[in-house]
Chain A
Amino acid sequence: MNKVKVLILVSLTAAAAYLSLSYPHAPKDILLNLRFPRVLQGFFTGFSLAVSGAILQGILKNPLADPFIMGVSGGAMLVLLFCKVFSIPDAYFLPAAGGMAAAYFSYIVSRKFSGFSNAGVILSGIAVNAFITALITIFVIFRKDDLIYFFHFSFGNISGVNHREIIYFSIMSCLVFLFFFLKRKSFLAMAFDEVKAVSMGLNAEREKILFFALASLLASFSVGMSGLVGFVGLVGANLARFIFPFSSREYILSCGFIGALLTVSADFAGRAAASPIEIPVGALTAFLGAPFFIYLLYREGKR
């Protein structure tokens, strides 16, 4: 049964990708050079964000955990902005460093003041995010001419034109995801029963930090590629829990595909709805995701 569900999910994503590629009709070179990279960018942006959200929700045992809410995405964004201000070119690894730094900072704060409790990490993450958002706003106000692009980037930008970045970040996301997939057993142990995990010989805090870092990396890659696309991490991970039990092998993979499906569809809708005007993808992921999310809460409440 689970296999059928995965198959349905994958084919839905494929259908969204196909639609995005083929509508409106365009010559082959446009498909190859613009639409295909764009679908790829949307796919990996959503996939990484949703998996990142799933990892954070798992280890922190809180359905609210999300790279966007916890300042990881903001940290990556801030570093991109610094690169622009000090004209540091093509710094692909730097956004990841920014996202990791933000995550590390919330970790230090929560460890110092709340004993690395799960709620403590999320709360300090929210504080870090608020601080970073404020910094970005201040920057944009004083350097409007240089940074207006970043203002727009903060609603997400999937354009398919930066081929090198798309290739780099897609490969990096794949590698990190593979590494995580190899470690999934200890992830599930950590997410389910920390006490049992420790009795199995796992160092709980070290494992947590490792997964925290992987989640930050995935989120940062998506930011480096496409800016801030909100809500995907939250929706992807929560939606997957309705389809698959958390403990199943398919859970993580389905999170990724739900995120990819949401992002690719949102990007398609943003491109096609008011063509040639583009609606930023971040606005549409929230627009499409939020009502669905509320419906899920309603159903959960009924149970």
Chain B
Amino acid sequence: MKKILPLILLVIPIEISAGGLAVFMPSHAEIICELGACGEIAAVGAYCDWPLEIRGKQKIGDYFRPDLEKIYSLKPDIVFLTSSANSTAASDLRKLNLRVEELEPEKNLKDICFTAMRIGKIIGRIEEAEIFCAKLKKDFSSLKPKTRKKVFFEIDSGLWTSGGGSFLNEMLKKAGLENVFSSRKESYFKVSWEAVLKENPDIIISNYSKPEYFYSLPMSSKVKAAAERKIFILDKDLRDMLVRPGPRSPYAARSLMELVNE
């Protein structure tokens, strides 16, 4: 028995390495593909939908409810995740003896590059990551909004919005928009319509509520955004792009800028 056991232990690891990368976050998938490693991705999280070539890949649930059985059966070499106290995915996957790489969530635009460099190091594409960073910097610096306007951004219906400590806040800034609630550092909270009225934003942008909803609220005519018909609802593409720190971020900021200045 003592002789057989080490033998078994030797044989098992050889058998199980099917390989590839498993990526939960849409932003990480976008960065990995941008670094030219799309082909190495074996499986993606439920919300990964860009670039188009990853849509056909195996789905492994989402970050809060990972499909552990499927991931285990795919035996990826590396699993990419965002580190967060909100999810036990990383520790669960480590218990399955998988290599898990946790990346810090991005707080500002520079962090995109930081994440890309880390991914580049892990998958052996540092040069590509450096090129990507340089391009990203150039793209962002080419954005020169002419005006600074105050914006109220509704993330979820019911006037849920975001404060100054968020990635979204930075994206808004790049698009020439100043979040009216940026003095709060919390990244997700609800405000009252009264508070929005008091801030009197020039522009209102919502992920889900139609402009008609805002026009129907009491005293909406007192808000500059309503008086000047500057209330917008985002389509799914732009909505996703805005909150994914990745290669499309400069494009998202530009699209937003064009939308509100049309």
Contacts and interface: CB of A to CB of B under 8 A. Distances in A.
Contacts of A145: 208
Interface residues of A, number: 23
Given A29-B219, A33-B219, A276 B191 contact: yes
A153 B158 contact: yes
A175 interface: no
Given A33-B219, A34-B219, A149 B191 contact: no
Contact of B218 (A149, A163, A275, A278): A163
Contacts of A26: 194
B157 A148 contact: yes
B190 interface: yes
B156 interface: yes
Contact of A149 (B157, B192, B195, B219): B157
Interface in B176-232: 181, 184, 186, 189-195, 197-199, 208, 217-219, 222
B134 to A, nearest CB: 36
Contact of B193 (A29, A34, A275): A34
Contacts of B159: 159
A161 B218 contact: yes
Contact of B158 (A34, A149, A271, A276): A149
A30 interface: yes
A152 B190 CA distance: 10
B160 interface: yes
Q: Which of A149, A157, A278 has the most CB of B within 10 A?
A: A278
Nearest to A227: B158
B48 to A, nearest CB: 16
Contacts of A157: 158
Contacts of A153: 158
Interface string A151-163: 0110001011101
B189 A161 contact: no
Contacts of A161: 193, 217-218
A278 B219 contact: no
A149 B213 CA distance: 14
Contacts of A280: 190
Contacts of B217: 161
A208 interface: no
Interface in A196-229: none
Ranked nearest first, the 8 interchain pairs of A and B with the lowest CB-CB distance are A276-B195, A33-B218, A277-B189, A149-B157, A278-B190, A276-B191, A34-B194, A148-B156
21 contacts: A29-B222, A30-B194, A33-B219, A34-B194, A34-B197, A35-B194, A145-B208, A148-B157, A149-B156, A149-B158, A152-B160, A159-B158, A160-B192, A160-B193, A160-B218, A163-B218, A276-B181, A276-B198, A277-B186, A277-B190, A278-B190
Given A149-B158, A276-B192, 9 more contacts: A30-B194, A30-B197, A34-B192, A157-B158, A160-B218, A161-B217, A276-B181, A276-B195, A277-B184
